[in-house]
Structure 1
Amino acid sequence: MTMMSYKGYEAVIEFDDEAELFHGEVINLRDVITFQGASVAELKDALKDSIEDYLAFCKERGEEPEKPFSGQFVVRADPALHKAVFSAAKRAGVSLNKWVTATLERAAVL
């Protein structure tokens, strides 16, 4: 799989042998944005056009477009794990949010 991006929106690209077309889909949104092209140049233009159309559509409706990776997500955990993580954060002298963020940074090797 190949990736492309435009204005922070990331898309995965696949090639359809039968149709001889590249197909792309933006992956870092809940909204669905797809595009296609017969060449790399067409594909890049289609991604740009699809994102710009999405932004214009949101503006017309008076809605904020969904932003890729807002920095917030919900994690559901077993209550015992929640308690253990909370206790670990307290022992470290930091907030639960700060402790989880630091732990994720270490795990993701940023």
Structure 2
Amino acid sequence: MNEHIEYKGYKAKVTYSKEDDALVGRVMDVDALIMFAGQSVAEVKAEFHAAIDSYVEECALHGLEPEKPFKGSFNVRVGCEAHRKAAYKAKAWGISLNEFVRVAIEQAVDRHAQAAAVTTVVKAPIATNDQLYVPVGVASARRVAPSAYGRSH
């Protein structure tokens, strides 16, 4: 059983746990781990409501703003020139401005994720035949002798 339920803008996925012989739910689209369980649909819904209410109350008690699930839409102020350029580029590509912005955001997020996880080889002229550039970080490179890697060129 895979079912999504919603309460106060929060969505949860409910599955059947064979080990626990219960319906178990987890709130989606927030970093906070909010889980609940019940033996029946009515009980799991009540526990979900109680879990959300408790989460919101705990946040208030500690002076924290509760996480809100992302809706998938937001307003962005980019300035007239950037707006014009983006609109013309989207039109040239045959897509909507919303689609253009969505793609741009996905590419920026993917680039950032890759840069954080993977080092980049910097392609630059090699000064001598006995040195080469190797990756040491996202935005830097250093020279090392090929023998450091057991290579001879």
| Alignment TM class, shorter chain as reference | 0.5 to 0.7
Letter in 1 for 2:21: E
Letter in 1 for 2:88: R
TM-score, scaled to structure 1: 0.67
Please name the residue that 2:46 is paired with.
45
Unaligned runs of 5+ in 1: 74-85, 105-110
Please name the residue that 1:12 is paired with.
13
What does 1:73-92 correspond to in 2, within 5 Å? 89=86, 91-92=88-89
Please name the residue that 2:55 is paired with.
54
Secondary structure of the corresponding residue to residue 46 of structure 1:
helix
Please tell me the root mean square deviation across aligned C-alpha atoms, in Å: 2.9
d(CA) in 2 for partners of 1:13 and 1:93? 40
What does 1:26-41 correspond to in 2, within 5 Å? 26-41=27-42
Q: Deviations over 1:66-101 (max 9, x none)?
A: 11116579xxxxxxxxxxxx9x7152589xxx93x3
Please name the residue that 1:22 is paired with.
23
Q: Which entry has the higher C-alpha Rg, 1 or 2? A: 2
d(CA) in 1 for partners of 2:34 and 2:50? 11
Unaligned runs of 5+ in 2: 75-82, 103-153
Q: Equivalent pairs: percent with the same residue?
A: 33
> How many residues of Structure 1 are paired with residues of Structure 2 in the alignment?
88
Q: Using the TM superposition, give the Cα deviation of residue 17 of structure 1 relative to its aligned residue in structure 2, in angstroms.
A: 2.3
Task: Quickly say closer, same or farther: Cα 1:90–1:39, change in 2 above 3 A.
Answer: closer
Q: Deviations over 1:41-88 (max 9, x none)?
A: 110110000000000000001111111116579xxxxxxxxxxxx9x7
TM-score, scaled to structure 2: 0.49
The structure carrying a bigger helix percent of its residues is 1
Letter in 2 for 1:34: M
Q: Using the TM superposition, give the Cα deviation of residue 15 of structure 1 relative to its aligned residue in structure 2, in angstroms.
A: 0.3
Runs of 4+ aligned residues of structure 1 deviating over 6 Å after TM superposition are none
Secondary structure of the corresponding residue to residue 18 of structure 1:
coil
